[in-house]
Amino acid sequence: MRIGIISDLHVDKNNIDGQTSVQEAVSRIALEQETDLLIVAGDVSNDYRYTLDVLQEIEHRTGKPCLFVPGNHDIWNIGHPLENAWHAYEALQRYDSNLTNAPYPLGPDWIVICDIGWYDYSFGSPAFTVDDYGRME
């Protein structure tokens, strides 16, 4: 099985009008490399709606599963201050190939298990308390 893995597409920063989009380039390379599936390991964009559109475009262009685990940017609510990160996280779970929904079997001996870890405060700066992090949703 050939698996393509990529992260940090940041299409809202890297897509430039008049040029090949990041998702077009990723899809073309996946087809050229004859991958059986892709795994996008977070940070497609700063807006979950745009992230969903890009993931669906990649699946459509390649005709292959485009597995996904959200990154911190995918659940940011900077463009939608009335929505919190949980809203974005749950909206992204409507994407069938979102790995936070369930493990994905690759065959009899392998599965892919993923979830976002941004809110694991054990990796956070000791300059903040757990309560400080809780208020940073």
Contacting positions for Fe ion (CB under 5 A) = 8, 43
Residue number, 76 or 104, with CB nearest to Fe ion: 76
Encoded tokens for 37: 């599936």
Considering the complex, what minimum distance in angstroms separates the CB of residue 46 from Fe ion?
Answer: 10
Residue number, 41 or 106, with CB nearest to Fe ion: 41
Residue number, 4 or 71, with CB nearest to Fe ion: 71
Contacts of 23 by beta carbon, 8 Å cutoff, 6+ apart:
9, 11, 15, 54, 57, 58, 61
What phi and psi, each to the nearest 5 degrees, are found at residue 124? -80, 170
Residue with the CB atom nearest Fe ion in the bound state = 43
Residue number, 4 or 42, with CB nearest to Fe ion: 42
Considering the complex, what minimum distance in angstroms separates the CB of residue 7 from Fe ion?
Answer: 7
DSSP per-residue codes, 26-84: HHHHHHHTT-SEEEE-S-S-SSHHHHHHHHHHHHHHHSS-EEE---TGGG--TT-TTS-
